[in-house]
Structure 1
């Protein structure tokens, strides 16, 4: 009999989510982009040492770049290389997608933010979205809706 190899749960799993973006912005169009990473960054992502709370996308020379995504280096890697945790990382998108995003950001007052990092097979993908800022009363309305949904769940739960 042959032994079956155990597979890691890294395929299809979420690495990090930007919940603050969902609270601060109205998210409209979502895109899936690849990220150009170094080897030590992939190892850190496998360990879950990433933070994308203040990350956003900017456009330069027809290319998309991810800013302020912090990937903390592992202690075993940081002794061999000079690492920069918040370096600019190139996003891999089709030119038509870049043109659409850049036009919305420049003309329609949208912001392009990173909402999630996840595994797709053995590749790391970044979900980016066009976003418009919420006003203070919109944020309060979101909070009220969330509280009401939580209360509704409690009311409809059947006691055991």
Structure 2
């Protein structure tokens, strides 16, 4: 299966599909991102990945670690591009305090779910999550398969024999 390129009308840059499978999402937040010019250009081209990315809360600030932004062309820039650099997330103090308090509890962590455009700004949707057990993952997969099967049955023309 090939990777889909973002469509010009779509505002989503990157999505962390693995996070919805691995965790129970309890609360979501919208955070701004402090980026450099080459990162914004690369994100316009859809060159961003969130797999294995997470949010670190340290000294009253939120940082995005593990997100990979592939530079477009390193030969034409005077800046040394670091694709895996730590990026600062911009949140209100109350939101950061809520996240720090919840992450201090056992079993909770903070992960990015998506990076998207909101106007001309890049935003990151982060979530406060709790890890799923293996049987929860199986139940989710079973429900997804059943919904897919229902859609197939609804799409098929009904054979009414009278």
Q: Which residue of 1 aligns with 2:4?
A: none
Cα separation, 2, equivalents of 1:57 and 1:79: 29
Shift in CA distance, 78/18, structure 1 to aligned 2, threshold 3 Å? farther
1:36–1:90 Cα contact (<8 Å) kept: yes
Q: TM-score, normalised by structure 2?
A: 0.88
Q: How far apart are residue 93 of structure 1 and its match?
A: 0.2
Cα separation, 1, equivalents of 2:73 and 2:145: 41
CA RMSD, aligned part only?
Answer: 1.8
Q: Which residue of 2 aligns with 1:138?
A: 136
Q: TM-score, normalised by structure 1?
A: 0.89
Identify which range, 95-104 or 68-77, moves more after superposition. Answer: 68-77
Shift in CA distance, 67/78, structure 1 to aligned 2, threshold 3 Å? farther
Provide structure 1 residue ranges, at least 5 long, that are not aligned to the other structure.
Answer: 1-7
Q: Which residue of 2 aligns with 1:74?
A: 72
Shift in CA distance, 143/81, structure 1 to aligned 2, threshold 3 Å? same
1:61 to 59, 62, 70: 59
Q: What are the Cα deviations for residues 97-135 of structure 1, in whole angstroms up to 9, with x where unaligned?
A: 000001100124311000000100000000000111011
| Deviation >6 Å, runs of 4+ | none
Cα separation, 1, equivalents of 2:37 and 2:124: 17
Provide structure 2 residue ranges, at least 5 long, that are not aligned to the other structure.
Answer: 1-6
